[in-house]
């Protein structure tokens, strides 16, 4: 499967919140991020999720880290400012 050290799981209540937010999202970028969480929760690996979403595995790992650090609000925020270089 994936390259994560331990499986990612969502509590039932949190999974329902993520599913609801994904249904209500009109932005495809947020929809993809939330889909990644749900697929990781189902046991898909980072590599598999990346292939499904046509992104690099690092992007999926970044989304997961963002969710773990800032929660659902952080993951759904698109005010990312790139590396200044």
Return the HEC string of the chain. Answer: CCCCCCCCCCCHHHHHHHHHHHHHCCCHHHHHHHHHHHHHHCCCCHHHHHHHHCCCHHHHHHHHHHHHHHHHHHHCCCCCCCCCC
Instruction: Quick: pLDDT tens for 51-72.
Output: 999 999 999 999 999 999 999 9
Query: What is the model's pLDDT at position 78?
Result: 84
Instruction: Quick: pLDDT tens for 4-23.
Output: 457 899 999 999 999 999 99
Residue ranges of domains in the chain? 12-75
Distances 19 to 25, 37, 41, 68, 77 between C-alpha atoms, Å: 10, 10, 12, 17, 16
Query: What is the model's pLDDT at position 79?
Result: 73
Query: What is the percent of the chain where pLDDT is above 90?
Result: 81
């Amino acid at each position: 499967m994936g390259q994560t050290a331990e499986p990612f799981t969502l509590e039932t209540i949190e999974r329902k919140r993520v599913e609801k937010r994904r249904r209500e999202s009109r932005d495809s970028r947020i929809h993809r991020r939330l889909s990644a969480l749900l697929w990781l929760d189902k046991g898909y690996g980072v590599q598999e999720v990346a292939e499904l979403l046509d992104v690099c595995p690092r992007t999926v790992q970044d989304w997961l880290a963002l969710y773990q650090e800032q929660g659902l609000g952080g993951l759904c925020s698109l005010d990312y400012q790139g590396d200044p270089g």
